[in-house]
């Protein structure tokens, strides 16, 4: 019984993750990319002036 609950929970979690990935807008993903690039650029600027 516990095994069935674990498997069901894992499948449900994967389904939610997959659905969230499918419905996410491009602008949200682009925002994360721009934030990461800006952080790397700021770090390089601090290190190398």
CA gap 10, 4 in Å, rounded: 10
Q: What is the pLDDT of residues 8-27, one digit of tens each?
A: 888 888 888 877 776 555 66
CA gap 34, 36 in Å, rounded: 5
Give the pLDDT of residue 33.
65
Map out the domains of the chain as residue ranges: 25-49
Question: Residue 48 pLDDT > 80, yes or no?
Answer: yes
CA gap 6, 11 in Å, rounded: 9
Return the exposure string of 4-18: e unless at least 16 CB atoms fall within 10 Å of the residue's CB, then b: eeeeeeeeeeeeeee
pTM: 0.42
Q: What is the pLDDT of residues 24-45, one digit of tens each?
A: 556 666 666 666 666 777 777 8
């Amino acid at each position: 019984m516990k095994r069935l609950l674990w498997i069901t929970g894992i499948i449900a979690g994967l389904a939610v993750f997959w659905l969230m990935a499918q419905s996410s807008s491009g602008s949200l993903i682009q925002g994360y990319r721009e934030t990461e690039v800006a952080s790397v650029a700021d770090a390089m600027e601090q290190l190398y002036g």
